[in-house]
Structure 1
Amino acid sequence: MRHNTAAPLEYSKLNKTATCQISPCANVLSNIYNKEVTLTCFSNKSSWAISHAAQLFAKQNLGTVIQYQGEINKDLLEEIVFKLEGSTHASLLAQHIELMLEMFQVLFEPKEIGLRLIACDTSLSPHFHQPQNLVRMASTLGGLGERWIAPDEVKFLPLAPNQLKPEIKAPLPHHISQLQDGDIALMKGSQWIDHEKSAITCASPAFCNNEFKLCIYIDFIE
């Protein structure tokens, strides 16, 4: 599993009330609609080819590659192919993003999404937080991905003077789980009904020296 000491759960053995559900079966993603669930993950480990291609592309194109807001359509898919054109195994990278978009479309039928493709060598949001959105799909190519804490392990610091919202205490290393290279996950934010205070607590991927990754995020807007 994404936890340092656990093994992957088979879908048939999943506890349907578990707050974080991970499976090699893609249909686990639909369990995000279960009230108790805050994260679902399709365990989709990258091949060496796509992982290496992502690392090489990220190294050569650091920064935001795509930042898009609108509907999922043919123009968006063509833009993705164009941005990746000329890179090693560009078709594999594009296929992964297109798969994410297809899944997101089927699950939520959005009128509008936000898509970000970012080539990173450092963590975008290194501190653990609860996203202030409805739901996000996340995947990382080229290395380990998003980190999160199980709800019962989340601790808060005491409120400082004039502070309205407590900060999340840095978790112990063994309480941190993370996505594997190529995994595709859905994470509920605080705007999901009845999850104002129980949204997923997460942080961006961590980086070692000379590490390059492609981070992909799809947000539900409307």
Structure 2
Amino acid sequence: MPHPTPLPCPDFATSAPRPLSTPHWAEGGGIEVLPRIFEDAITLAVMRRPVGSDLLAGALAQVEAGRPLSFNWRGAPGVELRTALFETLAAPAASVALVEDVVILAEAMAFLFDTDTVGLRLRLMDAPMCPRFHCDNLPVRMITTYLGPGSEWLPEAAVNRAGLGAPSAAKPEIVRDDGAIRRLESGDVALLKGSGWIGNESHGLVHRSPALAEGQPRLLLTIDPG
């Protein structure tokens, strides 16, 4: 499988547009949907799955502990990652399924992109991390939300890319149609193709963190290859 390489952020105002009628996302209930991210036209691949009771118990245990959680890891997925998670997470006995799920997803990311290492972050948040629509300046990222609302994203037809980047009064609104905004569900495993993927420089998936109600927690996992 090809291994994408990061590139500088493109000039969206001058790059060639992709036909708006071209479908650019794939969804399914099995892991076989994830490799579709390697298709040129696909910028989002989503494996739909519910959050099971064991995963939910582990996520809720982190909230009930009442302490911050921002776990960062870079290295090979496997035993050391599993050990570090158990040392970091609250209520390890209640978090077994959560730890195993994180490790399995990290291993899947490494396998898909033929890399020995991954960069991983597991964070408990009570405010949006990236509330403005944007596209990532990296090749690809895996995300899943264990607790709380999932990330929001835009079909290409609903995006005005001239509005992306640092906000200014001179820029147009990014969203052409508020009714077109879509959201991932808790438990979904998604691969988001960014502008650093070779051949996708001007078509990175436009997405944002969801709004949270006051006091609403969100447990988010992100994984980058390499």
Q: For residues 50 and 125 of structure 1, do their structure 2 counterparts lie closer, same or farther at Cα, with a shift above 3 Å needed?
A: same
- 2:198 equivalent among 171, 190, 193: 193
Q: Partner residue of 1:133? A: 138
**TM-score, length-scaled by structure 1:** 0.81
Residue 192 (structure 2) pairs with residue 207 (structure 1): no
RMSD of aligned residue pairs (Cα, Å): 2.4
Q: For residues 207 and 23 of structure 1, do their structure 2 counterparts lie closer, same or farther at Cα, with a shift above 3 Å needed?
A: same
Unaligned ranges ≥5, structure 2: 1-21
Is the contact between residue 146 and residue 179 of structure 1 (CA under 8 Å) also seen in structure 2? yes
Partner-residue secondary structure (3-state), 1:191: coil
Q: For residues 66 and 49 of structure 1, do their structure 2 counterparts lie closer, same or farther at Cα, with a shift above 3 Å needed?
A: same
Unaligned ranges ≥5, structure 1: 1-16
1:158 to partner: Cα distance: 6.2
Percent identical residues: 24
Instruction: Give deviations 1:88-146, integer Å, cap 9, x for gaps.
Output: 62012112211211211221121332110101111100111010011100000112211
- 1:147 equivalent among 152, 158, 164: 152
Q: For residues 158 and 213 of structure 1, do their structure 2 counterparts lie closer, same or farther at Cα, with a shift above 3 Å needed?
A: closer
- 1:53 equivalent among 47, 52, 58: 58
- 1:69 equivalent among 51, 71, 74: 74
Residues in 2 aligned to 1:123 and 1:167: alpha-carbon distance in whole angstroms: 23
Partner-residue secondary structure (3-state), 1:110: coil
Is the contact between residue 50 and residue 142 of structure 1 (CA under 8 Å) also seen in structure 2? no
Partner-residue secondary structure (3-state), 2:73: strand
* Amino acid paired to 1:201: V
Partner-residue secondary structure (3-state), 1:29: helix
1:172 to partner: Cα distance: 4.0
Is the contact between residue 130 and residue 200 of structure 1 (CA under 8 Å) also seen in structure 2? yes
Is the contact between residue 78 and residue 107 of structure 2 (CA under 8 Å) also seen in structure 1? no
Runs of 4+ in 1 over 6 A off after TM superposition: none
**TM-score, length-scaled by structure 2:** 0.79
Is the contact between residue 118 and residue 215 of structure 1 (CA under 8 Å) also seen in structure 2? yes
Is the contact between residue 82 and residue 100 of structure 2 (CA under 8 Å) also seen in structure 1? no
Q: How does 1:107-186 map to 2 (within 5 A)?
A: 107-156=112-161, 169-170=174-175, 172-186=177-191
